[in-house]
Amino acid sequence: MIRVVATTPFDGQKPGTSGLRKKVSVFQQPHYVENFVQSIFDSLEGFEGETLVIGGDGRFYNREAIQIVVRMAAAAGFGRVMVGQGGILSTPAASCVIRKHEAFGGIILSASHNPGGEHGDFGIKYNVGNGGPAPEHVTDAIFERSKAIREYRIFDAPDVDLDTLGITRVGDMVVDIVDPVEDYAELMGTLFDFDAIRDLFASGFAMRFDAMSAVTGPYATAILEETLGAEAGTVVHGVPLPDFGGHHPDPNLVHAKSLYDLLMSDHAPDLGAASDGDGDRNMIIGRGRFVTPSDSLAIIAANAHLTPGYKAGIAGIARSMPTSGSADRVAEKLGVTCYETPTGWKFFGNLLDAGLATVCGEESFGTGSNHVREKDGLWAVLMWLNILAIRRQGVDEIVGEHWAAYGRNYYTRHDYEEVDSAAADGLMAELRNRLDTLPGTVIQGLTVERADDFAYHDPVDGSVTTRQGVRVFFTDQSRIVYRLSGTGTAGATLRVYIERFEPDPARHDLETQSALADLISVARVLPDIEGRIGRKEPSVIT
């Protein structure tokens, strides 16, 4: 019943910031998925008879890939797989299920915020027993294995019915098709004051949640509309589609522009929110006020004690390095540590497991806490709703008061997408060459104080991760960060993160791009972006 299939390695099966992501057509090649999944299993030990959680964001090729993973899990000797009904599990829900059912790990089929459909992207990610993305030593081992693989093992069996809840078998392995929402919704109910949020909605509070035709639709509909009493129609684009309706499921100011426009209009609801392909990102917009993800993290950290799940206070905060320093100021006031990690949620796992941090965030619309080991889009929305339900102020007012108390970190990210890889590598190499000579130089009137290439020393396991982004600090409390994306599938994407701290409340109401105009100009000329990659303007500004 178990077939051993001879194969040869594929180039480039190296997991990036969050799993292996490639074009669908790459994954559709014979043996491609199988090689990678076998490389995962070959890198793990002790899973005989254990449980593996499987689910995805519903994008094109999700069901096909799940059938392969199920049959290979049976051949590898797992005792049980728990699969989200219809092949659906959001990334945070998968993390929740792994933890609650003490699974050995999980395989998540998703390319997250990348475009879907037949001509879009697909992805596979392995999560470990704490529910979080595999740490680097595991993803490194998977990649090494993928370069040497000669055969894979797969059970010969018909497709499993992914749509009917309940238990079947493939060989000796139990296949348990589970409700993708239930465990997750129950966990949310333990963290937040659902009665207070119900009262908020009952008082006429209006919101729009844009699920972007991606995985969060069923979760948001069940929790916001059916449990918390938000008006029917609060959730839009709530049915997961294989091609995300032809849209890019990335909740930012470009791809969720209609939501942004609504919130800036005369008939804006009180709150607008959106999430990404696999449901781990969130965008928060109040009436007339976009909340940057960095500010959202800081405001959540400062207010979390108002909610039942965090009423004892938070042990610490963790943020990725390019995320703004606004959370650091909250940590300082609370007397807790703010950890600075490389980009990617996998670096938060150790801090959360060790109890050093309670809330975490990234500037890329990612926020979460120790309730799971992934960032969690809907969690962030519920956290905001709970805070709004207790404080009974508007989003804009809460943000304004926060800045008045802590100062404002003006912040923007400029992305240059799909540029020539060699040119982007050259730009980064040149920046690294200049690290020693930059301090003291004056560029368009701004003086460089120091510059480095960020390296992270994990305080829990002692591991060191180098080359995580070039940072240039200026004497006026401003900073520019340059790094290359590790999630793209075409060419390279250069990300430039631009930030300046503004303590003066009289200067807290400027438009971000103009408040940062001088720094933005320096960010472009310093590495000669136009000369090196031929782009005058970024493709996405957030």
Catalogue the active-site residues.
112
Q: How many CB atoms lie within 10 A of CB 170?
A: 22
In degrees and rounded to multiples of 5, residue 64 shows phi and psi of: -60, -45
Asked if 383 and 374 touch (Cβ cutoff 8 Å), the reply is no
Angle at alpha carbon of residue 157, lines to 155 and 159, rounded to 5° = 120
The reply to whether 374 sits near Co ion by the rule CB under 5 A is: no
Q: Report the nearest approach of ligand VG1 to the CB of residue 485 (Å).
A: 3
Q: Report the nearest approach of ligand VG1 to the CB of residue 487 (Å).
A: 3
Angle at alpha carbon of residue 15, lines to 11 and 16, rounded to 5° = 115
Asked if 436 and 517 touch (Cβ cutoff 8 Å), the reply is no
Residue 481: beta bridge partners?
Answer: 471, 497
Handedness of CA 521, 525, 529, 534 (dihedral sign): positive
The reply to whether 363 sits near Co ion by the rule CB under 5 A is: no
The reply to whether 362 sits near ligand VG1 by the rule CB under 6 A is: yes
Task: Write the interaction track for ligand VG1 spanning residues 487-526; mark x where CB under 6 A is met and - where it is not.
Answer: x-------x-------------------------------
Q: Report the nearest approach of ligand VG1 to the CB of residue 541 (Å).
A: 15
Structure-token pair, residue 164? 């009917």
Nearer to Co ion, 111 or 516 (CB): 111
Structure-token pair, residue 227? 């449990």
Nearer to ligand VG1, 269 or 277 (CB): 277
Q: Report the nearest approach of Co ion to the CB of residue 293 (Å).
A: 13
Q: Report the nearest approach of Co ion to the CB of residue 322 (Å).
A: 17
Window contacting ligand VG1 (CB under 6 A); options: 239-247, 311-319, 360-368, 436-444: 360-368
**For residue 265, what are the contacts with CB-CB under 8 A and spacing of at least 6?**
none
Q: Report the nearest approach of ligand VG1 to the CB of residue 436 (Å).
A: 26
**For residue 101, what are the contacts with CB-CB under 8 A and spacing of at least 6?**
51, 53, 82, 183
Coil/strand/helix, residue 341? strand
Coil/strand/helix, residue 335? coil
Window contacting Co ion (CB under 5 A); options: 112-120, 246-254, 289-297, 457-465: 112-120
The reply to whether 67 sits near ligand VG1 by the rule CB under 6 A is: no
Binding partner at 344 among ligand VG1, Co ion, none, C-beta below 5 to 8 Å by kind: ligand VG1
Asked if 122 and 24 touch (Cβ cutoff 8 Å), the reply is yes
Q: Rounded distance, CA 510 to CA 502, Å? A: 11
Binding residue for ligand VG1 (CB under 6 A) from 400, 426, 486, 491? 486
Task: Write the interaction track for ligand VG1 spanning residues 258-277; mark x where CB under 6 A is met and - where it is not.
Answer: ------------------x-
Binding residue for Co ion (CB under 5 A) from 38, 51, 112, 341? 112
Nearer to ligand VG1, 269 or 488 (CB): 488
Task: Write the interaction track for ligand VG1 spanning residues 15-54; mark x where CB under 6 A is met and - where it is not.
Answer: --xx------------------------------------
Angle at alpha carbon of residue 162, lines to 156 and 168, rounded to 5° = 60
Binding partner at 328 among ligand VG1, Co ion, none, C-beta below 5 to 8 Å by kind: none
Coil/strand/helix, residue 284? strand
The interface with Co ion within residues 267-296 (CB under 5 A) comprises 276, 278, 280-281
Nearer to ligand VG1, 73 or 215 (CB): 215
The reply to whether 366 sits near ligand VG1 by the rule CB under 6 A is: yes
Asked if 20 and 125 touch (Cβ cutoff 8 Å), the reply is yes
Nearest CA to 297 out of 347, 365, 343 is that of 365
Q: Report the nearest approach of Co ion to the CB of residue 251 (Å).
A: 9
Asked if 128 and 372 touch (Cβ cutoff 8 Å), the reply is no
Q: Rounded distance, CA 378 to CA 228, Å? A: 13
Nearer to ligand VG1, 75 or 424 (CB): 424
The reply to whether 343 sits near ligand VG1 by the rule CB under 6 A is: yes
Q: Rounded distance, CA 512 to CA 71, Å? A: 51
Residue numbers of the site for ligand VG1 (CB under 6 A)? 17-18, 112-113, 276, 280-281, 320, 343-345, 362, 364, 366, 485-487, 495
Residue numbers of the site for Co ion (CB under 5 A)? 112, 276, 278, 280-281
